[in-house]
Amino acid sequence: MALPLRARGLLANAPLLYQQALGGAGISNTAFLCPAGALYSSVPVRSACSKPPTAGLKAFPFPGSVPAPCRVQSLFHSSHCSPSAFSQTTILSRIASFFSPHCPLPRVYHTSPAMHKPVPDSHSSDGHLPRYFDYLVVGGGSGGLASARRAAELGARTAVVESSKLGGTCIMWNAAIHSEYIHDHEDYGFETSAIKFTWKVIKEKRDAYVSRLNDIYQNNLQKAQIEIIRGQANFTSDSEPTVEVNGQKYIAPHILIATGGKPSMPSDAEVPGASLGITSDGFFQLTDLPRRSVVVGAGYIAIEIVGILSALGSKASLLIRQDKVLRTFDSMISSNCTEELENAGVEVWKYAQVKSVKKSATGLEINVQCSMPGRKPTVRTIQDVDCLLWAIGRDPNTEDLGLENLGLELDEKGHIVVDEFQNTSRKGVYAVGDVCGRALLTPVAIAAGRKLSHRLFEGQEDSKLDYDNIPTVVFSHPPIGTVGLTEEEAVTAKGRENVKVYTTSFSPMYHAVTRRKTKCVMKLVCVGKEEKVVGLHMQGLGCDEMLQGFSVAIKMGATKKDFDNTVAIHPTSSEELVTLR
């Protein structure tokens, strides 16, 4: 007779039974399984379910092993006893009679039997015993929350450690889009002279929206019975990976680091007066729209923010080190985006570097050195600046975590080094998201976190995120959509003779009657005789929304012929991609 345990692949419930649940059977002891195949009961046992302890001490061994190793170390800690060998004499039918299929059984999954060793003398700094979970997530951002919720759905007892807010978002870009469209309304016959923009209104609504999201995140965790541990996590030097928060130690066989990243900013030693500026984090705290703004950086964050500021009415300058923005993107996108910024009124300072910043009676004075190739460097000053914003990159949030106690391998920038399965150099410790320094996108962190949970708690040993062909959108003006290899990457990988490129440039139908014009540029990168599409790059109205479907096609291995055989939708911008010649 088999035990009525609900199993899923390598997973099995840890049958922690309570007197209340088994009162009808007349059982007064608490029972649980150990990896040796013995059923234990002990007094007193305090579990995560906070049910009253039961009385009695008894052991019910049974032949064979449990369907999957179950971590019971926390139960032994709580009952102040250690696992020991018992003879396998009790028949299965006797054991089975103690179980009820209706009992709410906590689940603990996927740990090695080797972990079930004598209980170490490991106390927290305040003398309390450690608390145990199946899955401990350090960081309450999108990746960590997604992984935690998926693990809880799969039955793992999960906790999230976070010292700040859960999640976060921005809706400022939509306000900027409306501003651009308002300028076109007159060309469509609408009177717009009385329309004005108020920064305070959109900021208050944005803050309220983010606050609601934070509440939703917290409610979702509570519904999933995920414990939220508030405070700064710090890894200790204990023999097994242990996290300490506010003096309390927490141990789990699986610990995920998903602490994300933070905006980079030069020190005052590197650039005198640099601290007078803000980063993208400070941008969302601005109480008024800056009259004069300067953004430093050429990446997607700099492009998005300077676009928002300019579209909403700020006189904006962008300082870049080379002659183009988004230099890691396809060359067509890099050139076109730089051109569109200038056409939109953004003052782009090329080959520029901030040398110093100081405060004056009318704002900030920013001294900028421009070093054009073949010319003598010149220094110019931008005066009366209300807002200097640094958008020069992001650093991983790995400081003050005590990672040195784990001996984790880090790269030269402090990112945690992981393999294709998100494993770090320390067994049982994983990392996803910006802290890894690869594909710094929220959906990537979410997908990687969920894949990890399926591997750890559902037995999907090959579950991992495929980092190839990840679609990326930059919310510039107009937006950019890109997926797959750039033309330059394809040539490097396959050779120029094996790469064929199809491009187009046009004005979207929306601009047929408007004085303001933006271009739409598109490129397909194909390789081999079959012309497999390995890259798609575009910038123009609607490119952000149209990218998702084309990304599916490219992920599935679509060829140029597949695109050609698809009937176009007219009149749309997307039809250009299936009519390229």
Nearest to 205 by CA among 229, 235, 171: 171
DSSP string, 39-69: EEE-S----TT-PPP----EEEE-SS--SS-
Q: CB-hemisphere CA count at 13 Å for 544?
A: 11
Token representation of residue 310: 């300019």
- Which residue shows structure tokens 């009679």? 97
Pairing of strands 352-360, 363-370: antiparallel
Question: How far is residue 71's CA from residue 109's CA, in Å, rounded to a whole number?
Answer: 7
**306 three-state secondary structure:** helix
Question: Active site includes 570?
Answer: yes
What residues are paired with 278 via a beta bridge? 389
Nearest to 310 by CA among 176, 218, 207: 176
Question: How far is residue 321's CA from residue 302's CA, in Å, rounded to a whole number?
Answer: 13
Listed in sequence order, the residues at least 6 apart from 251 whose beta carbon sits closer than 8 Å to its beta carbon are 73, 74, 122, 130, 131, 132, 133, 136, 238, 240, 241, 242, 243
Q: Is 425 exposed, middle or buried (0-12, 13-18, 19+ CB in 10 A)?
A: middle
Nearest to 180 by CA among 545, 508, 473, 518: 518
What residues are paired with 527 via a beta bridge? 499, 532
**157 three-state secondary structure:** coil
- Which residue shows structure tokens 């959109």? 202
77, 185, 477, 570: the catalytic one is 570
Q: Are 274 and 267 in contact (CB under 8 A)?
A: yes
Question: How far is residue 288's CA from residue 290's CA, in Å, rounded to a whole number?
Answer: 6
- Tell me which amino acid residue 116 is: H
Q: Is 427 exposed, middle or buried (0-12, 13-18, 19+ CB in 10 A)?
A: exposed
Q: Are 580 and 561 in contact (CB under 8 A)?
A: no
> What residues act catalytically?
570
